[in-house]
Amino acid sequence: MREIQETPGQVTFKSAWRDYFKGYFDFTGRTTRTGYWWAMLILMIVWFMPFFALLFAQAAKVQLKMNGALVLYIIVIGLLGVLTFIPTLALSVRRYRDAGLTGRI
């Protein structure tokens, strides 16, 4: 694990995503506004994909019973939540601290 020290004007889409996962347990570094919002945009896209898949399945009148596809869908959502919870928390704490807040939740 490395400490995240983003500097303004040097954060790109790729570096924000890389820093998001490399700073998995780093609650002490720095995160710029740009780095924070790039990471949030990526997370929104990643999180909305499974929900849109379910929405389109419902719109197509697909009967969702407790079969293998629905169980797989639930497992994917659960894994996505587990994998993104701590880095999102760390990213938010770093950003709150940079914005002048305490960073305590």
Residue 94 banded pLDDT, cuts 50, 70, 90: confident
* Cβ burial 9-19 (10 Å sphere, 16+ → b, else e): eebeeeebbeb
pTM: 0.75
Percent with pLDDT over 90 in the chain: 21
Phi, psi values for residue 5, rounded to 5°: -130, 80
| Residue in the structure block whose two tokens are 């928390």 | 89
pLDDT of residue 85: 94
Q: At what angle do helices 68-98 and 33-59 cross, to 10 degrees?
A: 160
pLDDT of residue 105: 61
Note the pLDDT tens digit of each residue in 16-63.
888 888 888 888 888 888 889 999 999 999 989 888 887 777 777 666
pLDDT of residue 82: 92
Phi, psi values for residue 30, rounded to 5°: -125, 145
d(CA 103, CA 96): 5
